[in-house]
Structure 1
Amino acid sequence: MDDDRGRLTRWENRSEIPLFLLSLIYLGGYAALVLAHGLPPAAHSALLATIAFAWAGFFVDYGVRLRLSGRHFGLRYIAHHLLDTVVLVLPLLRPLRAVQIYQVIQRRHEQPRLSLYGRVIAYAGMAALLIGFTGALAVYQQERHAPGATIRTFGDAVWWTCQTLTTVGYGDVTPVTTLGRVIAAFLMVMGLALLGAVTGSFSSWLYQMFAREGELPPPR
């Protein structure tokens, strides 16, 4: 079991950066497929093949992690590896695992890690940009040709995504397709989660700063 854990750790350390690069290839291929209009059939097929190749790499990585973990696939494994499972089903979110890349690099170079508050802010910012960009791509793909759609351009999709993630919701552009509304619900939940994480971390940081200056009792 200890040998399997050691091999799993070595696999994770060696595979994180290649998989991150593969996720960028996937995201770039998907973005080109959605945004590039009038592609010739050969280019369209090449993009689909690139996306499929990257997705296959994610499946291989998931299978290796499952094998080296010594566990059988099931609800318990999914609960302990929720992010891995989510990015396998929704590979557009694969770059969210960039936080693991940071940890791998820090372990290799034995450098001090950022404070908890710094990591929360950095990760939340990166997550907001990634989720916003992928959400805009996905909703634009679903809405651009739908009857009665108000999201006709990628700019409209970006504007709508900004409204949704920040929980503003002017209502000037809204999705009309079923899948577009599912994406909207996901973005609403993620927007609330990110806002809560940043607000909570910032409030805790302020509390500690005031406690150090003697204006508040130290946290217990």
Structure 2
Amino acid sequence: MEDEAEQQPERDPSAQARWESRTQRPLLALAVAFALAYAVPIVRPGASASVTRACTAVEWCVWGAFAADYVVRLCLSERRARFVRAHWLDLCAVVLPMIQPLRLLRLVATLMLVGRRARMASQIRLTTYVVGTVVGLLMFGSLAVLSVERESPDGNIKTLGDAVWWSFTTMTTVGYGDHAPTTGLGRVLAVGLMLSGIALLGVVTANIAAWFIARFEKDDAEERRQTAAIEALTMEVMALRAQVAALSGGAGGSGAAGDGGPPAPVAPRPREP
């Protein structure tokens, strides 16, 4: 029986976990391709029509890859209804561009899918995720507001530098006011960046506070452990002293009982006449 148990292979992870592990890096590479395809027509507005069509095709292909990833994970899930309830944001990101195929909707949907997919990867730490989220929001926020505000007659965000500066001041909620969106869609982007900046600031602050609390708890636990060890050692020393005192008292008492005390005086014999 033991040999049979040893010959049995270890339980493999679920098919869904294996799929997520194998597709993590390819999907991240596709996300980089999406970022480049989204940025080229905005940074170079005078690009040819073929370049613009190619970038649009790449955007749709990347979104389709993430949508297919969601469908595959749904099919591999053991409890599909529970999977849909737990990943409803993923479902919204998949359905959103199909309702009205706007470029900005593809951007939002792909960012949501990338963020949800990266959050499931256990090897990606929270700090890396937060830094990547900040960089992504700054980059895509700048490109999105530039594409919306560049053609506005009353707008003052005309270059990529202006858009990046506006994104920084908006995410940090500083708001100097030298650059501001004038269109309705641009203001919607501004609200999204403001809320994202506040949320990320809260995450960073919470992480720093949690690190300090964990550090203090670790120091307190070490101090309590040392105090308990000292108390245990003190009790042990006191017990040893009590045993030594008991042994010394027992040895002295038995010696006194064996000797019987000092010898009694001997009476002198009477002299003979």
Give TM-score, length-normalised by structure 1. 0.78
State which drifts further: 174-183 or 86-95: 86-95
1:20 and 2:39 aligned: no
Question: Take 1:85 and 1:171, find their aligned partners in 2: how far apart are those partners?
Answer: 37
Relative distance call for 1:146 and 1:212 in structure 2 (3 A) is same
Q: Which residue of 1 aligns with 2:207?
A: 201
Offset, 1:99: 4.8
2:110 is aligned to 91
Change in 2 beyond 3 A, CA 1:207/1:10: closer
- Within 5 Å, which residues of 2 pair with 1:13-162? 13-69=21-77, 70-72=79-81, 77=83, 79-82=85-88, 84-85=90-91, 88=94, 89=96, 90-96=109-115, 97-101=117-121, 103=122, 106=123, 119-162=125-168
1:4-47: CA deviations, max 9, x gaps? x8111111111111111111111110111211121112222222
Number of the residue aligned with 1:181: 187
Match of 1:110 in 2: none
- CA separation of 1:94 and 1:124: change in aligned 2, threshold 3 A: same
Residues 1:147 and 1:135: Cα distance change in structure 2 (over 3 Å): same
1:166 matches 2:172: yes
How far apart, CA to CA, are the structure 2 residues paired with 1:165 and 1:86? 25
Larger relative contact order, structure 1 or 2 (CA cutoff 8 Å, min sep 6): 1
Q: Is the 8 A contact 2:74 2:84 kept in 1?
A: no
In the alignment, structure 1 segments of 5+ residues that lack a partner are: 107-113
- One-letter amino acid of the counterpart of residue 151, structure 1: I
**Seq. identity, %:** 37
Alpha-carbon spacing, 1:151–1:211, altered in 2? closer, same or farther (3 Å): same
Residue type at the aligned position of 2:80: R
Aligned to 1:66, the other structure's residue is in SS state helix
Whole-Å separation in 1 of the counterparts to 2:202 and 2:92: 21
Does the aligned pair in 2 maintain the 1:165–1:192 contact within 8 Å? Answer: yes
Gap change, CA 1:8 and 1:77, over 3 Å in 2: closer
**Paired residues of 1:136 and 1:158 also in contact (CA < 8 A):** yes
Give the unaligned 5+ runs of structure 2: 1-12, 97-108, 225-273
Task: Give the conservation status (yes or no) of the 8 Å contact 2:90–2:112.
Answer: no
- TM-score, length-scaled by structure 2: 0.64
CA-atom RMSD in angstroms: 2.6
Deviation at 1:210, TM superposition (A): 4.0
Query: What is the identity, as a one-letter code, of the residue corresponding to 2:110?
Result: P
Moved over 6 A (4+): none
SS in 2 for 1:20: helix
Q: 1:29 to 1:151 in 2, by over 3 A?
A: same
1:161-196: CA deviation from partner (whole Å, max 9, x where unpaired): 001111111111111111111111111111011000
The question of whether the paired residues in 2 share the 8 Å contact of 1:30 and 1:51 is answered with: yes
